[in-house]
Amino acid sequence: METNNTNNFEPKVVAFVCNWCTYAGADLTGTSRIKYATNVKIIRFPCTGRIDFMLLMKAFANGADGIIISGCHPNDCHYTSGNFHARRRWMIFRNLLDFIGMDVNRIVFSWVSAAEGAKWAEVVNESVDQFRQLGPATSYQKLIKNSEFQEVE
Amino acid sequence: MNNLQQKAQQLLESGNYGLIVGYEKGTSGKARPVFIRKAEHASKLIFDESCDQNIAVYLYRQEIKHDKKKVIVANHHTLKSIVELAAENQVFDGDFMVLAFAGNGDIIELNTFEEIEKHVATLYHGLTEAEAAMMKKIEDMSLEDRWAFWENEFSKCIKCYACRASCPMCYCPTCTVEINQPQWISVPSHTLGNLEWHVMRAMHLAGRCVTCGQCGKACPLELPIQLLTYKVALDSKQFFDSVAGTSICADNALAIFKPEDHENFIR
């Protein structure tokens, strides 16, 4: 489906993170002066439980090549159970995307706590490498192009 | 007059029941839903293999909500949906009676949810052989082929939302599709928007789909969209041991959780 054609391809990556763990963790990455890939645009959510699957669909529809989703480790949720609910949703969603033929490697899931600044840098770097290997999301971009054409008409 | 028609006539004549929802003979050898309020119309009722539509979808409709006590003639899809609707508090115990059929064709009267639940426990839950074969065919494809297959199917969708209208579990008064601030699902029916719509529909039915396949039967373009909800139903069973339409007090698979839920993809 996707070709690994360009060596200088830089994937556009959106990260959906929870306010209490991963966002604070990403803050720690910064204050610790750890460098990581600049491809990622971080969007802060109150909780991973708030990350609706439609938001991920919209990220792809707006040209994302890869998505990172991250929040508190199990049992560490600020709201007690948001991440447990989110985990169930992702288990179903990930398999559904696979069933319709989307490459689930374009979505990376992780737990990053507020103390894991180094892990966040690692997760982003590894994900960006993975997305770079996968190349641009051409099959999805084809759909986007068609949809723009239709909506202008 | 057969047993069902006699039974229906008696019920309406007794004055205890005001409406019978069932099947009548339609065109091209198909059955269609019928709403009978007068005893003399009871002879319209049929029940045979052609009656495969899931008519639980009518139970909570505004038009018949206020009718005197209702009776519904239910096939096994309808029965499972009634159980799931009961679990979600969309239908209420004692509001209607169900006429189901035993293996030998005898009519069974089910008056309470408990009786319905007990009867449903005797039914087969799962996909038919043909449906399972369709699922396997797609799952055995390569990722690229699967994408090509669904891209082709979704490109044909005209967004008539017959799948939604036919589904007993799609009862939200305002569907996400109707929300335009933000516009979650695009109005024109291009492949991208169609894909998002079908993914959304399947996700919202996760742990709730009773695999009746009514969405696929209702589709005027005959897209195999029921396979998407089958997929989430099978996954709910595999991951969470949750089968919709089996218990009147079960929680939704995605509305509850277990700390020990196991996945292998989160870093």
In this predicted model, what pLDDT tens digit does every residue of B85-139 receive, in sequence order? 999 999 999 899 999 999 888 999 999 999 999 999 999 999 999 999 999 999 9
Mutate to test the interface with B, among A91, A145, A153 (most CBs of B within 10 A): A91
CA distance A142 to A133: 19
Predicted confidence (pLDDT) at residue A120 exceeds the cutoff of 80: yes
Q: Please indicate whether, in this complex, the C-beta atoms of A96 and B199 are within 8 angstroms of each other.
A: yes
CA quadruple A41, A42, A48, A50: dihedral sign: negative
Is A1 part of any domain?
no
- The reported pLDDT for the residue numbered A71 is 96
Predicted confidence (pLDDT) at residue A90 exceeds the cutoff of 90: yes
Is A4 part of any domain?
no
pLDDT band at A1 (very low <50, low <70, confident <90, very high): very low
Nearest to B259 among A74, A109, A110 (CB): A74
- Which residue carries 């060596």 as its tokens? A7
**Per-residue tokens: B59:** 């139970």
CATH 1.10.1060 fits B129-240, yes or no: yes
Using a 10 angstrom Cβ sphere, with 0-12 exposed, 13-18 middle and 19 or more buried, the burial of residue A34 is middle
In this predicted model, what pLDDT tens digit does every residue of A41-56 receive, in sequence order? 999 999 999 999 999 9
Instruction: Give backbone dihedrals phi and psi of B196, rounded to 5 degrees, phi first.
Output: -60, -40
Predicted confidence (pLDDT) at residue B1 exceeds the cutoff of 80: no
CATH of the domain at A18: 3.40.50
Instruction: Give backbone dihedrals phi and psi of A47, rounded to 5 degrees, phi first.
Output: -165, 155
Is A88 part of any domain?
yes
Average pLDDT over residues B244-254: 92
Residues of chain B neighbouring A81 (CB-CB closer than 8 A): 257
Residues spanned by CATH 1.10.1060 within chain B? 129-240
User: A51 in contact with B at a CB cutoff of 8 Å?
Assistant: no
Predicted confidence (pLDDT) at residue B68 exceeds the cutoff of 80: no
- Collapse the DSSP code of A119 into the 3-class scheme (helix H, G, I; strand E, B; otherwise coil) and give the result: helix
Predicted confidence (pLDDT) at residue A133 exceeds the cutoff of 50: yes
Provide, rounded to the nearest whole percent, the portion of chain A with pLDDT above 70.
Answer: 93
Average pLDDT over residues B175-183: 92
Residues of chain A neighbouring B232 (CB-CB closer than 8 A): 92, 96
CA distance B55 to B168: 8
The chain B residue lying nearest A141, using CA atoms, is B192
- The reported pLDDT for the residue numbered A6 is 52
The secondary structure of B63-118, three-state, reads HHHCCCCEEEECCHHHHHHHHHHHHCCCCCCCCEEEEEECCCCCEEEECCHHHHHH
Using a 10 angstrom Cβ sphere, with 0-12 exposed, 13-18 middle and 19 or more buried, the burial of residue A76 is middle
Average pLDDT over residues B228-250: 94
The closest alpha carbon to B56, from B73, B92, B81, belongs to B81
User: A74 in contact with B at a CB cutoff of 8 Å?
Assistant: yes
Q: At a CB cut-off of 8 Å and minimum separation 6, what does B15 contact? A: none
Q: Is the peptide bond before B182 cis (omega within 30 degrees of 0)?
A: yes
CA distance B128 to B134: 10
CA distance B168 to B247: 16
Q: What is the identity of the amino acid at B138?
A: I
**Which residues in chain B belong to E strands, given as ranges?**
19-25, 31-36, 45-46, 70-73, 96-101, 107-110
Residues of chain B neighbouring A109 (CB-CB closer than 8 A): 265-267
Count of structural domains, chain A: 1
Predicted confidence (pLDDT) at residue A15 exceeds the cutoff of 60: yes
Average pLDDT over residues A79-103: 96
Is A28 part of any domain?
yes
Q: At a CB cut-off of 8 Å and minimum separation 6, what does A123 contact? A: A68, A70, A108, A110, A112, B267
Is A127 part of any domain?
yes
| Domain span including residue A94 | 13-152
Predicted confidence (pLDDT) at residue B173 exceeds the cutoff of 80: yes
CA distance A149 to B193: 13
CA angle B79/B82/B88 to nearest 5° reads 150
